[in-house]
Amino acid sequence: MAPWRQPLFEFLRQMIRQTKRIDNEQRTEDLRSRHIPRLLLSYALPAVVGTSVNALYNIADRIFIGQGVGEYAISGLTLTFPIMIFLQAFGMLVGAGASVRVSILLGMKDQAGAERILANAIMLTIVLSVMTIVPSYIFMEPLLRLFGASDRTLPYAMDYLRVIIPGNIFATLSFSYNAVMRASGYPTKAMIQMILGAVLNVALDALFIFVFDWGIAGAAWATVISMFVTMLFVMEHFTDKNSLIRFRRSAMRPSRSMIVSILGIGMAPFAMQLVGSAVTIVLNRSFVHYGGGGELSDLAIGVYGIINSYAMLVVMLVLGISQGMQPIVGFNYGAGNMDRVLYTYKLSVFTNSLITVIGFLLGILLPSVIVGFFTPSHSMISIGESAMRIALLSFGFVGFQITTTQLFQSIGMSMKAMFLSLSRQVIFLLPLLLILPRLFGLDGVWMAMPISDFSAAVITFVLVKQQLKKMKGNHTGHAHAPL
């Protein structure tokens, strides 16, 4: 064995060993009474690493494709976003709903109920995956044409989706149960799963694109294989007898009430994903129309994919902290410890707002450097430089809005969470995409994004101010739990 491998393998063994169930009573006691900043760090750090690494699944694909295949390949990949977002939405529907229910039930000391949620969630995931994969594959080409594909970009999009769509079930299962694993008190193991998949994905991207010369299909194969491996990892966790909750035959009974509760809570991120898919279609069609339908349109679509990738990387940091916040808020809300809920939320908002402000500054000051990571194309870099400066003008408010949406979702207020999730895109972005480009042309498409971000932040502030006031006046006997 090479000298460097032994300490690496030993490190991984030690990390995994730490995730074994040593004292599950201590896990719940930590959620109930451990100092909030340290508790949030212990949950958020693995989640941040996990979500950031998860972003590499998509970002690595785009960098390798842009550098190794070409700028039109990036545009072709961007055209697949609506279908990919649609398929991923079902993983978020089940994963987000199940993880919140598991956290609340564990806070109420109902382990059997949490295991029934887990069992119902896996059955639901498999059924939904089969129902969505088949029509997506059959209608792939006409959908891509509808989304704005040209003769230059369609072949790349088709080559990618032919591999990705059938393998989506692995991604759905992997994502769904990573969320449940983290919510049940195993943030470190959830982080290891994400790191494992991302590292494998990057390595296979390089191998398949630059060595085997498989082009954009190589990136798709890299993603599918890495998702399959991470799915096996997470399934092993829930069959381990040492896990706090695990698959049990006695729990494998469909429950209408549990399925409804999972879908109800998960509906907010699910709806946001579906709307995101629709918005991406409108954006792509706008680029085609206001870019003249030629080369400029194809390049603008690719630039949007790059800006989206950069924003996603920053947002994944925010989501990681929000996901780390979720089990703490869910548990203490279920236990009636409102002081701990409020403190955790405020600390998360501060941290996430700082992250998105830094993301805004980097995007405004270094746009050409960021775009250059994805493509050597001077034309695409030139378009991306001005587009990024416009699109990210209000990006600093995004951290606050995402964290607040997660707060409502974590305490079971799915309707408010759904409203906030949809406000940016449905109430503001879609109408602005119909109005501003008529006045400002292609620049109007980019301008719609920051105006929507700011407007959604205002709505979010109004709603959360009311909710925090209610929480402060609704303390229980646990109101003075340690912070």
What is the predicted pLDDT for the residue at 407?
94
Predicted model pTM:
0.83
Tell me how far apart the alpha carbons of residues 125 and 461 are, in angstroms, rounded to a whole number: 34
Residue 351 has pLDDT above 90, yes or no: yes
What is the predicted pLDDT for the residue at 13?
54
Query: Once rounded to an integer, what is the mean pLDDT over residues 426-450?
Result: 95
CB 418 within 8 A of CB 264: no
Percent of the chain with pLDDT over 90: 53
Residue 6 has pLDDT above 80, yes or no: no
Residue 470 has pLDDT above 60, yes or no: yes
Q: Which of 346, 348, 355 is nearest to 316 (CA)?
A: 355
What is the predicted pLDDT for the residue at 480?
59
What is the predicted pLDDT for the residue at 251?
79
CB 149 within 8 A of CB 79: yes
Q: How would you classify residue 148: left for phi > 0, otherwise alpha for psi between -120 and 50, otherwise beta? A: left
CA within 13 Å, CB half, 216: 25
Query: Once rounded to an integer, what is the mean pLDDT over residues 1-12?
Result: 49
Query: How many residues make up the chain in this entry?
Result: 483
Most confident stretch, 102-111, 233-242, 257-266, 453-462: 453-462
pLDDT band at 430 (very low <50, low <70, confident <90, very high): very high
Residue 375 has pLDDT above 70, yes or no: yes
What is the predicted pLDDT for the residue at 23?
52
What is the predicted pLDDT for the residue at 185?
79
- What tokens does 425 get? 């895109």
What is the predicted pLDDT for the residue at 16?
53
Tell me how far apart the alpha carbons of residues 448 and 463 are, in angstroms, rounded to a whole number: 23
H or E element that contains 459: helix 442-472
Other C-beta atoms lying within 10 Å of the C-beta of residue 63: 20
What is the predicted pLDDT for the residue at 189?
85
What is the predicted pLDDT for the residue at 213?
95
Q: Which of 455, 471, 394 is nearest to 420 (CA)?
A: 455
CB 287 within 8 A of CB 304: yes
Query: Once rounded to an integer, what is the mean pLDDT over residues 300-306?
Result: 96
Using alpha carbons, list the distances in angstroms from residue 83 to 110, 141, 230, 270.
Answer: 38, 11, 22, 14
Residue 223 has pLDDT above 70, yes or no: yes
